[in-house]
Amino acid sequence: MPVSKRDKKISLTKVSKAPKAKPAFVEKVSFVMLKVFSLWIHLEHFFLTTFQVRSLVNH
């Protein structure tokens, strides 16, 4: 059964669009964002506690 040009094109685009490197990239990005987010939370907590301590010391 001969494959038409259109079917060949579709199969080629399917292969090229197949997410090969994307999942790893997405995982990396989400991992970095999680790291940044947790770091931000830790920093925020740290700053809040230090400010609270300072205000307690000042009063």
Domain span at 41: 20-58
Residue 7 lies in a domain: no
Q: Is the residue at 45 inside a domain?
A: yes
Please determine, for residue 1, whether its predicted confidence score (pLDDT) is greater than 60.
no
pLDDT at site 10: 63
35: its two tokens: 């790291």
Number of compact structural domains in the chain: 1
Residue 46 domain flag = yes
Q: What is the pTM of this model?
A: 0.42
For residue 26, being part of any structural domain is answered with yes
Each residue of 10-51: pLDDT tens digit?
666 665 665 566 678 888 999 999 999 999 999 998 989 988
43: how many CB neighbours lie within 10 A of its CB?
10
- Residue 57 — very low, low, confident or very high, per pLDDT cuts 50/70/90? confident
SS3 category, 59: coil
